[in-house]
Structure 1
Amino acid sequence: MNTYIYKTKKYMIAQILWDLAGVICLAFSPLLQQWLFDYGLQSPLKKIVMVVLAYGALLVFYTLSQYFCALYAFKGGIKFENLLKRDFLYSLFHMEPSRFYKHSIGEYVSLQGNDITALEQDYLEPVISIIRCVNMIIVYGVVLFFGVDWRIALVIILTSIFAILIPRMIGKSLTDARSTYQEQMAEYVTEITDLLEGFRVINQMTVGKILDKHEHVLNETAEKRYQYGKKKSMVLGVSELTTKFVKIFTFAVVAVLFYKHEITVGVGVATLSYVSSFIEPIDTVLYNFTAIQSMKDVKKKVLAYTQDTHVTVLPRKKKLNSDIIFENVTFKRKSFALENINLTIKKGMKYAVVGHSGAGKSTLFKLIMGYEKNSSGVIRLDGEDIRNYDISELISYTDQNEHIYRAGIVDNITVFHSYPMDGIDSVGKSIWPELFEGIFNRKEKECQRFSGGEKQAVAFLRMAAKNAEVILLDEPFSAMDAKMKSAVEHYLFTGKEFEGKTVLVITHDTREESLSQYDGIIHVGENGIYVE
């Protein structure tokens, strides 16, 4: 976290300096009150007017300083949050696939949208606020000690230290409660994401039960928030009590000294004014210590991602020279297992991958891509362990539910112009002529309204634009109509863009005329995995 604070240091320093200037002005204003009560009656009107004007000038400058202080606080807070969010997303996008898929998208969204914002509001702001309060306490302490009465200053400082220590001693329970609440919030975001993604399932028959499901997780979240609120209220209540103790004790000391005629009326008035001003930073320090302490687990969780920005640079593999070979590969997850896979995928051949649902066809692809990790054995690429290479340019993987961005068609096909559009016209016009007549004139968000088959066609065109040498297609035609499916399959086998490429297609179309187009058939089932 220190790295991010350091990167926003110029805004922090500007805040602190403007605040310090304002605090110095504010600290001297009670001295003018003291002078007025002690010497005002014996002074000429001109001097009194000068004191009043000085008093007003001090308060006006203080107000101005707080404006600039708030301005730099916004700038620094925005930069801090943006840096964290940028690094968080960078870390996710460079994460190993098998690690990324251990958590739900909802958890990542909650961290990005809620927790990082909370760090800015409940960690960075309190840290700066504490520094500002320390400035205030030091300035007020010095002015009290030398300008008012050292005994009163000592009483206020000692009781203030006591007031700060007590709430810190009971802050651990608040940290635990906040952590539990944040975890529940992540669960709630995940649940909401799941329910909204299932919008098409909602109807008059299902809406009641779906709302009940939401109500259950909503009530759990509310309960965790209430428990956190109870702990926070208790800590803040104790903080409030201790600061009032400072005020009461100081008032008693002033009363005793005044009764003994050891201080003047002006000193008494100034002291009570200082105590009120002294209490505010103490209150703020206590509140901010509580906020910072409650953010410990959130900070740890976010930094686990943002600090892991080191990317292992593997040799980039762009060309397949021989074959992809599975050697005694075993994969296990709970009750599911693929055991002792020995398979050779020959360069330049096109394979149909068949088998019953749940047999492990998709898992086979995910093992190649590294989305799943094999328990034993090795997958070799040109004789080397596939994990020793960056295969992102060599292999293209497209499944039946390939993500389509909230963007235009060209942006979806080229992934925001990461892939070239050159040559895609011929593919597009062959499989989807009506679209490609005016592709560049389409509305920006039109892809969101496409049918399932049309979205699969966009995904196919994206794969073609990537122009990878090895192509893995997981039921890529399942939602297409017969005409489009026929056009896509025909182009996959006859188009010059796919000549010499190694292609594996998971399909449930086991008709002889369909399977006869392939060079080989990979069977995945109870009898293991073998090539026909």
Structure 2
Amino acid sequence: MQQPLMISIQNVDKSFQKNKQENKVLENISLNVQKGEVISILGESGCGKSTLLNIIGGFEKTSNGQVFLDGELVTKPNRKCIMLFQNYGLLPWRSVLKNIEFGLEGSKLTSSERIEKALHYLDLVGLKGKEGLFPHELSGGMQQRVGIARALAVQPELILLDEPFAALDTFNRYYLQNELLRIQSREKTTMILVTHDIDEAVYLSDRIFVMHPNPGCIHKEIKISLSKPRDRSNSDFQHYRNIIFNEFHFGRPEPLLEFNI
């Protein structure tokens, strides 16, 4: 059964002024995201992926068109929506526990309720016992897990992820992709992921939107009809990977020149 809409993007254009000239970054972007879906926006650098994510989050305004979050027009950042960046965004002077509590400050929860909730999500991301440590005492993968726990603690309806694992090594990236799927399956949170990693998009997503640049536009929508978790070596996985790979029209490399020495 089709779930209700979480995000509706309708005919969005975005332009920036540079040297008194208009630079169009996005053109006629329209897409819908259902509640509980994991969506990837995939494209090469400079195609407007992050700009689109910022518009969805209310951090940038559209030049034309509208974005609706759970039926409400997006005009500014909203507590229903949390952004997760690749640089973790942790406060270095706060402990792990206090970093997770940060998003809960100002809520109606008591101090003990905030701590209880923060500890719950710390346990959910597999960092139980690390609450007293500071960010500099954690690996990059652990810091990103703290960021995920902090995002989940405010119980958002939508999490926006801007290449959250790009700075991590392959092993940590794979581990956190698995963790993200496990947590999303349990929490049923809607997620929109911006990435230029084809494998990551196929592994995590229910649907993928491929963007082309100049100006940024949705070139193709691809539904991934594979159960989760997915086997990266499976022929079906490789089938989707090749479909997306071919969208970017990578040419064959030039042959190496031979020299007689």
TM-score (norm 1): 0.35
Instruction: Give 1:467 deviation, angstroms.
Output: 2.1
How many Å separate the matches in 2 of 1:483 and 1:525? Answer: 29
Gaps of 5+ in 1: 1-319
1:355 aligns with 2:43: yes
The answer to whether the aligner puts 1:486 opposite 2:174 as a matched pair is yes
CA distance in structure 2 between the aligned counterparts of 1:417 and 1:355, rounded to whole angstroms: 34
Give, in whole Å, the separation in 1 of the partners of 2:41 and 2:54. 14
Q: Which of the pair has more CA radius of gyration?
A: 1
Q: Please provide the CA RMSD for this pair.
A: 2.6
Partner of 1:373: 61
Q: Is structure 2 residue 216 aligned with structure 1 residue 519? A: no
- Rate the CA distance shift 1:348–1:474 in 2: closer, same or farther, 3 A: same
Q: Aligned match of 2:124 in 408, 427, 449?
A: 427
| CA distance in structure 2 between the aligned counterparts of 1:514 and 1:385, rounded to whole angstroms | 28
Shift of 1:450: 4.1
Partner of 2:130: 439
Take 1:391 and 1:375, find their aligned partners in 2: how far apart are those partners? Answer: 17
Determine the structure 2 residue equivalent to 1:325: 8
Structure 1, residues 395-454: CA drift from partner, whole Å, max 9, x if none?
Answer: 11111123221211111122175353142143232xx5xxx3x32443xxx314545444
Query: Secondary structure of 2:27's partner?
Result: strand
Residue 242 (structure 2) pairs with residue 528 (structure 1): no
Partner of 1:385: 73
Matched residues in 2 for 1:514 and 1:321: separation?
A: 23
- Contact residue 413 and residue 458 of structure 1 kept, 8 A: yes
Contact 1:331 1:337 in 2 (8 A): yes
Contact 1:343–1:531 (CA<8 Å) still a contact in 2? no
Alignment of 1:188-337 (within 5 A): 321-334=4-17, 335-337=23-25
CA distance in 2, matches of 1:324, 1:411: 31
Contact 2:104–2:154, Cα closer than 8 Å, also in 1:
no
Secondary structure of 1:495 counterpart: helix
Q: Which deviates further from its counterpart, 360-369 or 393-402? A: 393-402
Amino acid at match of 1:347: K
1:412 is aligned to 99
Partner of 1:401: 87
**CA 1:494–1:404: 2 relative to 1, 3 Å:** closer
SS at 1:323 equivalent: strand
Q: CA deviation at 1:494?
A: 2.5
CA gap 1:326/1:439 in 2 versus in 1, 3 angstroms: same
Give, as a single letter, the amino acid of the residue that structure 2 aligns with 1:404. Answer: L
Post-superposition shift, 1:490? 1.3
Q: Distance in 2 between matches of 1:382 and 1:412?
A: 28
Answer 1 or 2: which has greater helix percent: 1
Give the whole-Å Cα distance in 2 for the aligned partners of 1:352 and 1:469: 17
Q: Distance in 2 between matches of 1:502 and 1:330?
A: 24
d(CA) in 1 for partners of 2:196, 2:177: 14
Cα distance in 1, alignment partners of residues 170 and 101 from structure 2: 26
**TM-fit CA distance, 1:329:** 1.0
Distance between the aligned counterparts of 1:338 and 1:514, measured in 2?
A: 21
Residues 67-103 of structure 1 show CA distances to partners (whole Å, capped at 9, x for unaligned) of xxxxxxxxxxxxxxxxxxxxxxxxxxxxxxxxxxxxx
SS at match of 1:477: coil
Cα distance change, pair 402–495 in 1 and its aligned pair in 2 (3 A): closer
1:95-134 equivalent positions in 2, closer than 5 A: none
Instruction: Return the alpha-carbon distance in structure 2 between the equivalents of residues 349 and 337 of structure 1.
Output: 26
Q: Could you tell me how far apart the structure 1 residues matched to 2:182 and 2:86 are?
A: 22
- Asked if 2 retains the 8 angstrom alpha-carbon contact of 1:413 and 1:459, the reply is yes
The structure-2 alpha-carbon separation of the partners of 1:346 and 1:363, relative to structure 1 and needing over 3 Å to count, comes to: same
Residues 323, 345 of structure 1: 8 Å contact kept: yes
Q: What is the TM-score normalised by the length of structure 2?
A: 0.67
Residues 456 and 480, structure 1, Cα contact 8 Å, conserved in 2: no
Determine the C-alpha separation between the residues in 1 that align with 2:166 and 2:184.
24
In structure 2, stretches of 5+ residues that fail to align are 18-22, 106-113, 223-261
Q: Output the CA distance in 2 between the equivalents of 1:473 and 1:357.
A: 16
Classify 1:488/1:374 alpha carbon distance in 2 versus 1 (closer, same or farther; 3 Å): same
Q: Which amino acid aligns with 1:328?
A: N
**How far apart are 1:464 and its partner, in Å?**
2.2
Once the two structures are TM-superposed, the CA of residue 515 in structure 1 deviates from its matched residue by 0.6
User: Relative to structure 1, is the Cα distance of residues 498 and 355 closer, same or farther in structure 2, using a 3 angstrom cutoff?
Assistant: farther
Equivalent position amino acid for 2:25 in 1: A
* Superposed CA offset, 1:322-365 (max 9, x none): 23111111110132420111111222211122100111111111
Q: 1:475 to 1:496 in 2, by over 3 A?
A: closer
Between the aligned partners of 1:459 and 1:353, the Cα distance in structure 2 is: 21
Matched letter for residue 120 of structure 2? G
Are 2:190 and 1:502 equivalent residues in the alignment?
yes
